[in-house]
Amino acid sequence: MVATSLYRNEQYFARPLEYLPERWLRSNTTATENPPKEEAVRALRTSNPLIFLSFGVGPRVCLGRRVSELELELGIARLVRNFQIEFHHPVDKPFKSLFVNMPNMPLKFKFSDIV
């Protein structure tokens, strides 16, 4: 079974077709001012921790995992710190699945300097 079809399977993810990013929050997060309740987040998490493995698992796990995650976190943090980011375009079918998921629409974000 293709991994992306597992992400849409109710057996593994509650409300799989909804955009609910809080399902990825770690426990005891203090990153937001009003964090969602732990029980609510737990109910959204996957029932199987081996479902989402972008970097593999076990003795052959990706050696660059920590570096890549750090780079992504720092990059996104710099963007949201420095810009108000808006997107005023249709978001129907936002991805297409090739070997990996690809954007299926022009990424016409509007970045405005935060003063």
Q: Which of 8, 43, 47, 55 binds ligand HEM (CB under 6 A)?
A: 55
Rule CB under 6 A: say whether 70 interacts with ligand HEM.
no
Tell me how many residues contact ligand HEM (CB under 6 A).
Answer: 11
Examine residue 51 and tell whether it contacts ligand HEM (CB under 6 A).
Answer: no
Question: What gap in Å lies between CA 15 and CA 87, rounded to an integer?
Answer: 24
C-beta of 101 vs 112, nearer to ligand HEM: 101
Residues 58-87 as b/e (b if ≥16 CB within 10 A, e otherwise) read eeeeeeeeeeeeeeeeeeeeeeeeeeeeee
Least Å from the CB of residue 85 to ligand HEM: 21
107 binds ligand HEM per the rule CB under 6 A = no
* Cβ-based neighbours of 16, under 8 Å, separated by 6 or more: 7, 8, 9, 10
- Which conformational region is residue 69 in: left (phi greater than 0), alpha (psi within -120 to 50 degrees), or beta? alpha
**Beta carbon nearer to ligand HEM, 3 or 43:** 3
Q: Which residue of 9, 48, 54, 97 would you call a contact of ligand HEM, by CB under 6 A?
A: 54
- Site residues for ligand HEM per CB under 6 A: 54-57, 60-64, 67-68
